[in-house]
Amino acid sequence: MLDWYHDPLPTNCCADFVCPAGTDSPPGWREYAYTQGPEKGYRNLAVFYRSCSMGCLYCQNWHYRLPASESKVSAHELAAAVDGRTSCVCFFGGDPSTQAVHALRSIRIMLEQSQGRVLRVCFETNGRWDPVLLRKAADLSLRSGGCIKFDLKAWSPEVHYALTGFGPELTRKNFEDLIPSYRARPEPPFLIACTLLVPGYVDEQEVGSIARWLAALDPSIPYSLLAFHPQFMMDDLPMTSRRQAKACLDAATDAGLQRVRVGNLHLLQD
C-alpha cells in the first residue's frame, strides 16, 4: 500500500546538504550523479508507504492513516515508474520498514533495469527494522550510491516513549550496526541522522546527548536538525523557535560533530 510521485531535483531532503543531487562538486559525484552540481532537470521517485512501525503523536505525514482509494502497487508496477530522468528513489512514509519485502523486491527490479546508469536508492526511516531486512536494504543502497536517513526522535527513553509509543533501543542498535557500511563509503555519506526539534520535548539536552553518541561512533556523520510544524495530535504546539534551533545546533557542534545543519529554515519562529 503506497503512493508514489516524481519530485524535481534538487528537492527538500534532510540529506540534501551532503547528497550528490543537491550539492556542488561532491566527492564521488562522477560515479553517483549525472551532473557536477545540483541535478537540475532530473527527478526523484518518492515512494510513500501507507503504514508505520511507530505511533508518533506529532507525525508530519499522518495522512497515510486516512482511507485510500488507490489499489495496491506491485513491485513491477513501481519499478516501471523509473524513467530516463529519474536519478534517485527514496522510500519513506509512514515507514518503509513495515513493507520492507516489497521495497527490496522493487529495488532489485529497478537496479536490474537500470544497469549502466545512475540510480541512487535511499531510505528515510525511524530505524525500527528487522535487522536482516535492514542489512539487505543497506547493501542495495550502498551499492547504488544512495543513503539511509535515520530519524532519531529523542535520546531519553522517557521522552522517546512519550512521543512515539516505543523506546529508542532498536533504532540505536540498527544505526550502530550500519557504521561499518558508512566507513566503507564515506563519500557521498551513506548514513545520515536527523532529529525533529519538537518544542518542549526535544531540546538542546536531548540533541546534545544524541550528538555525543553520534560523534563517538564517527564525528563525520552528517546530522540534520529539522524545524517542527504542528501536526496530528500535537497541533497545539508552537513551531520551533530560532533560539531553540541555535541552542540545538550549538549543542551538536559542541559534541564534536563536523557536519551539522538546520533544515526547514522557513518554519523557524522569532
pLDDT of residue 25: 64
| C-alpha distance from residue 46 to each of 38, 199, 237, 267 (Å) | 18, 28, 28, 23
The CA-based angle 190-194-196, given to 5 degrees, is: 165
Q: Which residue has the cell 519485502?
A: 101
pLDDT per residue as tens digits for the range 151-161: 999 999 999 99
134 by DSSP, 3-state: which? helix
98 by DSSP, 3-state: which? helix
Alpha helices in 145-267 (DSSP H): 157-164, 169-177, 179-184, 204-217, 242-254
pLDDT of residue 23: 83
Cα distance between the two ends of the chain: 40
Mean predicted confidence (pLDDT) in 7-33: 84
Q: Reply yes or no on whether the pLDDT at 47 is more than 70.
A: yes
* Inter-residue contact 244 to 197 (CB < 8 Å): yes
> Which of these ranges, 21-25, 145-149, 160-164, 167-171, has the smallest mean pLDDT?
21-25
- Domain borders along the chain are 2-267
152 by DSSP, 3-state: which? coil
Mean pLDDT of the chain: 94
pLDDT of residue 43: 96
102 by DSSP, 3-state: which? helix
**Which of 5-14, 62-71, 244-253 has the highest average model confidence (pLDDT)?**
244-253
Residue range 2-267 forms a domain whose CATH class is alpha beta
pLDDT band at 207 (very low <50, low <70, confident <90, very high): very high
Beta-bridged to residue 2, according to DSSP, are: 49
Rounded to two decimals, the pTM is 0.95
